A and B are shown apart, each in its own frame.
Chain A
Amino acid sequence: MTDLASTDAPAAIVTETDDGAARLHRNLFIAIAVALVIAPFVAYPVFVMKVLCFALFALAFNLLLGYGGLLSFGHAAYFGMASYVSAYTAKNWGLTPELAILLGTAVGAALGLVFGALAIRRQGIYFAMITLALAQMVFFFSLQTPGFTGGEDGIQAVPRGKLLGLIDLADDRVLYWLVAAIFMGGLLLIYRVIHSPFGQVCKAIRDNEPRAISLGYRASQYKLMVFVLSATLAGLAGATKAIVFQLASLTDVYWTMSGEVVLMTLVGGLGTVFGPIVGAIVIVAMQNYLATLGAWVTVVQGVIFVLCVLLFREGIVGVISKAIRKPL
């Protein structure tokens, strides 16, 4: 039958492209794993760990904006608060690093649940403004409670401690493997979320919320869930960062941190799986290697941001993805 033939042929094409993308992604994951193994031998491990923490942060942010369609301008709150909790509990309660990181992450998740429930009642710019306002409240809280946050000084000299009470993390090259594992775990989780039945619904809501509702999806529940997932992973990034740098400070909760993560995501490629990693590498490398320029780093960042929005709207990975006609 001609009918049968016409249904079969395009169907084959679809599965082929899907499989092609899946194979490409698997190869990319292998490449990333290899890069993670090689990186500490060719670059300064603390630098690589910094990149990994910010890449995870950007991945978390991109999950919310790129796949949930929700622009948060307050992601510093989850990153920074988790960083404080992790630093405080490691230093003052003597928690082992994995417990301190877990606790920080849990606080990020809880904060995300409360803030998310408030913010998802509004849409678009109002949503962004609510997240920003709530994050500013976290900043002022951090400023006003020096007993907990150390105020202007932050929490310094956080002990890295011993992983599970056994493995001493004082050596950068040892700590690196923990950070690499956390990053890879976070990346794999985000990849799975994006490619799950839940992720499909999120993408539908992102594309056309009224339509998703008219199909019977309770959109706000999905939005809250993706918000909490994003805040949790942002918290994981912040908590890990505190252990790496042995420092949690007001910089982590300040609104510029929220802005930086937007920048990383846009530079790398909004709504691409791997873009935020590239964006984080670019921005962190710039901050490090252009550090001699002092305040001019901010100017350079600003110029890149403007250029990105004007010329490079899909970001680096977005452009590549378009060129090879495969989702990345």
Chain B
Amino acid sequence: MAEDTILSTSGLTKEFAGFTAVNSVDLSVRRGSIHALIGPNGAGKTTCFNLLTKFLAPTRGSIVYNGRDISREKPAEIARLGLVRSFQISAVFPQLSVLTNVRIALQRRKRGDSFDFWRSERVLSELDAEARSLIEAVGLTPFLGLTAGELSYGRKRALEIATTLALEPEMLLLDEPMAGMGREDVERIAALIRKISKNRTILMVEHNLSVVASLSDRITVLARGQVLAEGDYATVSKDPRVIEAYIGSGGGHGHH
């Protein structure tokens, strides 16, 4: 069981000035799975996500990744351990070219830190070929020379994925990968996520339940900061407590 689990939390709790956003959550993500974290608005998904990615520090509880306690690590450090997050609003470097965006990630993985301010950036051109093939993989080759800020929303997301993959992460944490997307983009990104999930573990927070249903192996439902139910989509969607939580909060948004 322990070898199967790549990421687990026990008693994970976050309190904000008397309000408990995440309350004693025990989560266990199996290696190689696509795991979704869902729940009605205010259920604590985003807080939970920010705790896992270390952008928030937990009040109590622990997070173990690959057998290592990362409860008190800094966000940059867990990225170096192979646990990489995405962002809800597309996370690109808008003033840098598409190529440079991906190369920045390669630069970190291949060179470690880059404090060499006296060297010409030409030394980075050895990374260009690999950056190009990653860009090719997400279908952005025709936009190689544009700055990331000039891309459409869906393409920014694709670029973000290429950048993330450049780190060869062992596990991806995706924060609402479909947020604000049109139907066509949703299908394209869903296919991309399925493609990159090979040999990787993915944990995602997602509102779009049809995406969750089609992609994830396992689903954890949060409500009021606590785990309400866990299982595959069929199990979870029939759970009366889950149905009640969604209806009680005004229906399942994203249920098109």
Q: Enumerate chain A interface residues (CB-CB to B < 8 A).
A: 3, 6-7, 10-11, 13-14, 17, 192-193, 195-201, 203-204, 206-208, 210-219, 221-222, 225, 229
Q: What are 25 residue pairs bridging A and B, where the CB atoms are less than 8 Å apart in the complex?
A: A6-B142, A14-B97, A196-B117, A196-B118, A197-B119, A197-B124, A198-B117, A200-B124, A204-B104, A206-B95, A207-B96, A208-B91, A208-B92, A208-B94, A211-B91, A212-B104, A214-B53, A214-B86, A215-B79, A215-B104, A215-B108, A215-B163, A216-B80, A216-B84, A225-B117
Q: Which of A3, A11, A197, A213 contacts B114 (CB 8 A)?
A: A197
B141 x A6 contact (CB < 8 A) = yes
B167 x A215 contact (CB < 8 A) = yes
Q: Enumerate chain B interface residues (CB-CB to A < 8 A).
A: 53, 55, 74-77, 79-80, 84-87, 91-97, 99-100, 103-105, 107-109, 111, 113-121, 123-124, 132, 136, 141-145, 163, 167
Residue of chain B at shortest CB distance from A206: B95
A201 x B136 contact (CB < 8 A) = no
In the complex, what distance in Å separates the CA atom of A14 from the CA atom of B103?
14
Q: Given the complex, which residues of A lie within 8 Å of B94, measured CB to CB?
A: 207-208
CB distance from B49 to the nearest CB of A (A): 12
B107 x A200 contact (CB < 8 A) = yes
Q: Given the complex, which residues of B lie within 8 Å of A210, measured CB to CB?
A: 55, 75, 87, 91
In the complex, what distance in Å separates the CA atom of A213 from the CA atom of B92?
12
In the complex, what distance in Å separates the CA atom of A218 from the CA atom of B80?
10
B141 x A10 contact (CB < 8 A) = yes
A200 x B100 contact (CB < 8 A) = yes
B120 x A198 contact (CB < 8 A) = no
CB distance from A158 to the nearest CB of B (A): 32
Give 5 new A-B contacts, CB below 8 A, not counting A207-B92, A215-B105, A218-B76: A196-B120, A203-B93, A211-B87, A213-B75, A214-B91
Q: Given the complex, which residues of A lie within 8 Å of B85, measured CB to CB?
A: 214
In the complex, what distance in Å separates the CA atom of A221 from the CA atom of B163?
22
Q: Given the complex, which residues of B lie within 8 Å of A193, measured CB to CB?
A: 117-118
Residue of chain B at shortest CB distance from A214: B85
Q: Which of B76, B103, B117 contacts A217 (CB 8 A)?
A: B76
A215 x B84 contact (CB < 8 A) = yes
Q: Given the complex, which residues of B lie within 8 Å of A206, measured CB to CB?
A: 95
In the complex, what distance in Å separates the CA atom of A197 from the CA atom of B104?
9
Residue of chain B at shortest CB distance from A195: B121
B104 x A200 contact (CB < 8 A) = yes
Residue of chain A at shortest CB distance from B82: A216
Q: Given the complex, which residues of A lie within 8 Å of B117, measured CB to CB?
A: 192-193, 196, 198-199, 225, 229
A10 x B142 contact (CB < 8 A) = yes
A204 x B113 contact (CB < 8 A) = no
Known pairs A213-B75, A216-B79; A204 contacts B116 (CB<8 A) = no
CB distance from B109 to the nearest CB of A (A): 8
CB distance from B64 to the nearest CB of A (A): 20
CB distance from B144 to the nearest CB of A (A): 4
Residue of chain A at shortest CB distance from B147: A207
In the complex, what distance in Å separates the CA atom of A207 from the CA atom of B147?
12
Q: Given the complex, which residues of A lie within 8 Å of B103, measured CB to CB?
A: 200
CB distance from B47 to the nearest CB of A (A): 16
In the complex, what distance in Å separates the CA atom of A204 from the CA atom of B53?
20
B76 x A219 contact (CB < 8 A) = yes
CB distance from B174 to the nearest CB of A (A): 12
In the complex, what distance in Å separates the CA atom of A200 from the CA atom of B141?
21
